[in-house]
Amino acid sequence: MYTNFFLELKKFGIPVSIQEFLTFLNCLQTNLTEFEIEKFYFLAKTSLVKHEKYFDTFDQIFSSNFNGLEKIELEKFLDKMNLPSEWLEKLAEKLLTKEEMKKIKSLGNFEKLMETLRKRLKEQKKRHQGGNKWIGTAGTSPFGAYGFNPEGVRIGQQESRHQKAVKVWDKRVFKNLDENTEIGSRSMKIALKRLRIWARNGLDEELDLDNTITSTARSGFLNIKTRPERENAVKLLIFFDVGGSMDMYVSKVQELFSAARSAFKHVKYYYFHNCLYEGVWENNERRWKEQIPTYDLLHKYNKDYKCIFVGDAAMSPYEIEMVGGANEHYNNETGRIWLQRARNQWPNNIWINPAQEDYWKFTQSTVILQDIFESRMVPLTLNGLDEGMKLLN
């Protein structure tokens, strides 16, 4: 049973190793779970899943593997013990809401309900389906799953049919920690931090111990040597597409922008519209007055700079391929030529596309740009950024 669960976790991309699995089995032997399905779930989660981004997947797999397990545990429990009343009460407390508890009238009061539950559990010897007395599934008895009686105690079913007692794992509270869906500025910074080149620059402020020892030994007196501190020496050049179809992605791109600014010391950024042509601008409000010739940038920033284009790549193919195809001015050279110049000058380059990856293939211009960038186009998701940073390294 557990092995299947383990294999399924692996199959759905949760990185679990044998070592973790053995730890988990060890845990089970320590009796920490006290035969409670919920504790079993917590234990499995803490020992097998090591990142919150996998919680949602884990919850789903757990649900499909172990729902209904409560029933088995319960029967085992019945065999072994004499049904402690605290346990039953706890079970009921967990499964019934306050209002439901109040509603229990048909059977008298809560103690009565519990007593009946205990009696029925004892009477029951084999699994059954339907009927209105026994505990099992799909009966009208107050006990068991799929019951319609308002005070029914839920003991095992695929999902909450009346949404009264949703199990923790069926709640799927960790849905939005799933990496492919959401992205925040903080998490972007983490992704961007992948891009690091350590170098020693600036003032000699750090004691260079090795060198001090060597030179002291050599000269026969204490000869202190210092060196500059290590810092991230990555230089970035970012081009942002603004206006038009990019408006939809403004907030997402803003986050990327602020993340990049705080993660790197040397970041230069410029704006363009749809495709790169002979001019870009630094300030979007004064875009018509203060254009900077793209040639200047090509000469100013050397090959050390890593170049990132951010844009949705959605435009008419003419804007890339034709002279005069640009939609806001007349361009003497095609966008393709300008993009290729930039790519030649800064060989470490990627295109980050905020549009959903599934739709890329339906936009002709996106396909063309992917071709120009030799598939170095990544979506603006955490995984995409991760991949992009790897390409840039």
Partner 1 sequence: MQFKNTENYITTEDLEMAVNAAINLEKPLLVKGEPGTGKTELAKQVAIKLGLKLFEWNIKSTTKAHQGLYEYDAVSRLRDSQLGDKKVNDIKNYIKKGTIWSAFSSEEKAVLLIDEIDKADIEFPNDLLHELDKMKFLVYETGEIISAKKRPIVIITSNNEKELPDAFLRRCFFHYIQFPDHETLTKIINVHFPDIKKTLLQSALEIFFDIREVPGLKKKPSTSEILDWIKLLLVEDISVTDLKKEPKDMLPILYGALLKNEQDVQLFEKLAFINRNQ
Q: Which residues bind partner 1 (CB under 8 A)?
A: 15, 17, 19-20, 23, 26-27, 30, 32, 38-39, 42-43, 45-47, 49-52, 55, 168, 173-174, 177, 185-187, 189-190, 193, 207, 209, 212-213, 216, 221-222, 251
User: Between residues 192 and 377, which has the closer beta carbon with respect to partner 1?
Assistant: 192
CB 257, min distance to partner 1, A: 14
47 phi/psi in degrees, rounded to 5: -95, -20
CB 181, min distance to partner 1, A: 16
Q: Which two tokens stand for residue 90?
A: 């706890």
CB 276, min distance to partner 1, A: 31
User: Between residues 43 and 322, which has the closer beta carbon with respect to partner 1?
Assistant: 43
Q: Is 367 exposed, middle or buried (0-12, 13-18, 19+ CB in 10 A)?
A: middle
User: Between residues 47 and 353, which has the closer beta carbon with respect to partner 1?
Assistant: 47
Cβ–Cβ < 8 Å for 146, 157 = yes
Q: Which residues of 312-346 are buried (b: 16+ CB within 10 A; e: fewer)?
A: bbbbeeebbeeeebbeeeebeebbbbbbeebbebb
User: Between residues 1 and 222, which has the closer beta carbon with respect to partner 1?
Assistant: 222
User: Between residues 52 and 290, which has the closer beta carbon with respect to partner 1?
Assistant: 52
| Rounded to 5°, angle at Cα 326 from 323 and 329 | 100
Cβ neighbours of residue 24 closer than 8 Å, sequence gap 6 or more: 2, 43, 44, 47, 48
Cβ–Cβ < 8 Å for 239, 269 = yes
Q: How many CB atoms are located within 10 Å of the residue 39 CB?
A: 12
CB 34, min distance to partner 1, A: 10
| Rounded to 5°, angle at Cα 373 from 370 and 374 | 80
CB 96, min distance to partner 1, A: 16
Strand-strand pairing, 306-310 and 266-272: unpaired
CB 174, min distance to partner 1, A: 8
User: Between residues 195 and 352, which has the closer beta carbon with respect to partner 1?
Assistant: 195
User: Between residues 142 and 388, which has the closer beta carbon with respect to partner 1?
Assistant: 388
CB 113, min distance to partner 1, A: 24
CB 42, min distance to partner 1, A: 4
User: Between residues 5 and 169, which has the closer beta carbon with respect to partner 1?
Assistant: 169
CA–CA dist 235, 301 (Å, integer) = 10
Q: How many helices (H) and strands (E) does the chain have?
A: 17, 9
CA distances from 218 to 108, 116, 221 (A): 95, 91, 8
